[in-house]
Amino acid sequence: MDILVVLENRNGALHRMSLEAIAAAQSLARDLNLTVAALAWGPQAKDLAREAATKRVDEVLSLEHELLEKYSSDGYAEAIKQVIEQEAPRYVLVGHTYMVRDYFPKVSARIRKPFVGDVVAYRIEDGSPVFTRQVFNAKLVVDVAPQVAPPVLVSFQSATFQADAVEAGTAPVRDITVALEAEQIKTQSEPPFQEAAGDVDLSSAEVIVSVGRGIGKEENIPLAGELAEAMGAELGSSRPVVDAGWLPSSRQVGSSGQSVAPKLYFALGISGAIQHVVGMKGSKNVVAINKDPEAPIFEIADYGVVGDLLEIVPKLTEAIKEQS
Amino acid sequence: MKIAVLVKQVPGSESALRVGTEEQWVDESALDFEMNESDSYALEEALLIKEKSAAGGEVVVVSMGPPERTPKVIREALAKGADRGIHIHEEPPYENDPFLIAGIFASALRDEQFDLLLSGLQSADLATGQTGVILGEFLEMATATLVMATELQDGSIKVKRELESGWSQWITLPLPASITIQSGLNQPRYPSLRGIMGAKKKEIKVLSKADLIAGNTPLQSWERLYVHKKEKRTEMIEGDLNQVVDQLVNVLRTEIKVL
């Protein structure tokens, strides 16, 4: 095949970002007239293969191995290295998940091929794709091109392609094998656990008032709390506010917190770092208040105010209370 | 314990960025540089590990960049308690391929035989999040990313890795190991006056990128740096405080319909 999509398991089914990676592969295959294979592997590889076989791909590869039942960066990198050597794809596509961030640079190091990570767009130039990445806190973007012979490893940022845009089809499944030894895995892992069980379900909230670093200090948090109360909204936050201990981690929106899709996401003093945006860019409407006119949050906001939220928010809360 | 910390100088988070004339890098003339955020947490973690380690040890801070901004960041780390510095002297154009950059650091650090290598999980400028892992591979170290806690053990280090959606996992890495640090796992210290004075006497070894790169060329390269054209039009609400509040209420009530 030409394009290999490496899938990921999330609770026994395909990870949403793996579906997005399949959509990316279908798009690239259309543009360049290429064939696509999807790799189902690790725990429940057979189930993932069955699910992947209902998508429009040319082939599904199924890989089971005792040493892949549990994630390790060494084992996973070695397995993908061997699959790439056996199957010789030109493009290896994945979603930019936490797992990919951990082991894909290792694959790049071992096969000495480029890993273009966290891509937000691609376009074809002279018959080859050029990939666009966000740099400088997502304030700028850069076009990146591989400089060596294929393959190139590419991960796509969450929501760059749409999971529901994946075309359905029927694909044959082929079993493949790799040779792994326990000694190749340097690390020992314990079972994953959930920290501070989420007592707040932001994912079903209709309105979220969310606080970022721009709130300034802990004593100002109630200003946002009062606005949320007046609007019947849930209070959310970006990572720095949780790291500072001003709000509990159960309120955190973003790649390391919850993903939300409210009718209104009201961003107060949130700069709009990628890690935050991936968790809220499904919001129907975004209103942002920030004192920095160049804050990337304004890139995705429907309505923006450049100003001091400490002045605006209390006045707004008052005005909303008068309305009701 | 011999620990290396990779730190980087990046534009301050509120800097107004302008694309340079060649569309290859930002115009640095009006920029203030500071230590990359997650790198400052990595530095603090290295200092804490050294302080807790019975046998003591050494924290070496390593940074690549031009002489205008790199020694300042290294001095800051020395003032906080790092023992010595290594400055890899780099003139523009700056490297942007993580594979090539990791190779340069590997050449600089290989003979030092570090037990532990710490770096921030990604830099604010290139944002690849790859250098620490690839460097670990080059130096035949165990690696882990997005680390939220560390516990040094005999001949190994146990780390808590952040997974998606609030999940975590403890993993144990044999030494030597390269780990990338997530922001927020500790409270970076401020340098003391004594630390600042003492830092002036500490050694900063200067190496040259040109020597370390050894003829290697990038696997991927930047074609063009530019401002992203937005897909969505943002309606900016302007005016004095009362006008802004009135317009916001109007938008919330009649456009978004949430009041």
Per-residue model confidence as pLDDT tens digits over A150-177: 999 999 998 789 888 999 999 999 999 9
**Residue A195: predicted pLDDT:** 67
Contacts of A252 in chain B (CB under 8 A): 166
Strand order, beta sheet including A303-306: A234-237, A207-211, A264-268, A285-290, A303-306, B235-236
For chain A, percent of residues with pLDDT exceeding 70: 98
Q: What is the pLDDT, as a whole number, of residue B110?
A: 97
Give A256 to chain B, closest Cα distance, Å.
Answer: 5
Looking at beta carbons, which residues of chain A come within 8 Å of B217?
147
Residues 236-255 of B with CB under 8 A from A: 236-238, 241-242, 244-246, 248-249, 251-253, 255
Cα separation, A124 vs A131, whole angstroms: 9
B155 touches chain A (CB under 8 A): no
Residues in contact with A287: Cβ distance below 8 Å, sequence separation at least 6, in sequence order: A264, A265, A266, A267, A301, A302, A303, A304, A305, B248, B251, B252, B256
pLDDT category of residue A70 using cuts at 50, 70 and 90? very high
Q: Do A315 and B127 touch (CB under 8 A)?
A: no
Mean pLDDT, rounded, for A206-230: 95
Chain A contact for B54, CB < 8 A? no
| pLDDT tops 70 at residue A106 | yes
- Average per-residue pLDDT for chain B: 94
**Facing B172 at nearest CB: one of A139, A187, A285:** A187
Chain B residue numbers touching A290 (CB-CB < 8 A): none
Q: Which chain A residues are closer than 8 Å to B144 by Cβ?
A: 73, 102, 187
Among residues A271, A225, A296, A287, the alpha carbon closest in space to that of B245 is found at: A287
Cβ contact B161–A102 (<8 Å): yes
Q: How confident is the model at residue A284 (pLDDT cuts 50, 70, 90)?
A: confident
**Average pLDDT estimate for B86-90:** 98
Query: What are the CA-CA distances from residue B208 to residues B112, B132, B211, B212 (Å)?
Result: 16, 20, 5, 7
If one looks up domain A202-323 in CATH, what number appears? 3.40.50.1220
Mean pLDDT of A11-16: 90
User: Region A31-54: what's the mean pLDDT?
Assistant: 97
Q: What are the backbone angles phi and psi of residue B32, rounded to the nearest 5°?
A: -100, 130
Task: Give the whole-angstrom CA distance, residue B60 versus residue B69.
Answer: 18
Q: How many CB pairs under 8 A join A and B?
A: 243
In this complex, the residue of A115, A255, A304 whose CB is nearest that of residue B237 is A304
State yes or no: pLDDT of A73 exceeds 90: yes
**Which chain B residues contact residue A302 at CB under 8 A?**
232, 234-235
CA of A74 to nearest chain B CA: how many angstroms apart?
8
Domain ranges of chain B: 2-212
pLDDT of residue B164: 78
Given an 8 Å threshold on Cβ–Cβ distance, is B235 in contact with A304?
yes
CATH code reported for the domain at A3-184: 3.40.50.620
Average pLDDT over residues B53-75: 95
Q: Do B225 and A139 touch (CB under 8 A)?
A: no
Ranges for all domains in chain A classified under CATH 3.40.50.1220: 202-323
Confidence of residue B16 (pLDDT cuts 50, 70, 90): confident
**Distances from the Cα of B210 to the Cα of A45, B10, B69, B73, angstroms:** 47, 21, 18, 21
Q: What is the pLDDT of residues B165-221, one digit of tens each?
A: 678 999 999 999 999 999 889 999 999 999 999 999 999 999 999 999 988 999 999
Best to test chain A binding among B24, B105, B137 (most A CBs inside 10 Å): B137
Rounded Cα distance between A212 and A208, Å, is 13
Q: How far is B13 from chain A (nearest CA, A)?
A: 8
**Section A53-72 average pLDDT:** 97
Q: Report the percent of chain B where pLDDT is more than 70.
A: 98
**Positive or negative: CA dihedral B211, B216, B219, B224:** positive
Please give, rounded to a whole number of angstroms, the shortest distance from the CA of A56 to a CA of chain B: 28
Confidence grade of residue A199 (pLDDT, cut at 50, 70, 90): low
CATH 3.40.50.620 maps onto chain A at: 3-184
Contacts of residue B169 in chain A, CB cutoff 8 Å?
Answer: 189-193
| B117 interface with A at CB cutoff 8 Å | no
**Residue B230: predicted pLDDT:** 65
pLDDT at A198: 56
pLDDT value of residue A180: 98
Span B78-93, mean pLDDT?
Answer: 97
Tell me the mean pLDDT in the region B75-97.
97
B223 touches A at CB < 8 Å = yes
Q: Nearest CB to B124: which of A105, A133, A137? A: A137
Report CB contact under 8 Å: A114, B161: no
Report DSSP letters for A224-263, one per residue: HHHHHHHHT-EEEE-HHHHHTTSS-GGGBBSTTSB----S
Nearest CA in chain A to B162: A256
A277 has a pLDDT exceeding 70: yes
User: Could B173 and A258 be called an inter-chain contact, meaning their C-beta atoms sit closer than 8 Å?
Assistant: no
B83/A contact by beta carbon, under 8 A: no
Separation of alpha carbons A152 and B251, rounded Å: 46
Alpha carbon of B36 to those of A137, B8, B63, B126: distances in Å? 11, 6, 11, 11
pLDDT value for B167: 82
Greatest extent of chain B over all pairs of C-alpha atoms, in Å: 67
Average pLDDT, chain A: 93
Chain A environment of B223 (Cβ under 8 Å): 130, 142-145
The domain defined by B2-212 folds into Rossmann fold (3.40.50)
What mean pLDDT is predicted for residues B131-145? 98
The answer to whether the bond into A192 is cis (omega within 30° of 0) is no
Residues of B within 8 A of A206 (CB-CB) are 258
Q: pLDDT-derived band of residue B231, with 50, 70 and 90 as boundaries?
A: low
- From chain B, pick out residues whose CB is under 8 angstroms from the CB of A231: 252, 258-259
Instruction: Please tell me the predicted confidence (pLDDT) of residue A258.
Output: 83
**CB-CB neighbors (< 8 A) of B172 in chain A:** 187-189
Percent of chain A with pLDDT over 90: 81
- DSSP letter, residue A300: H
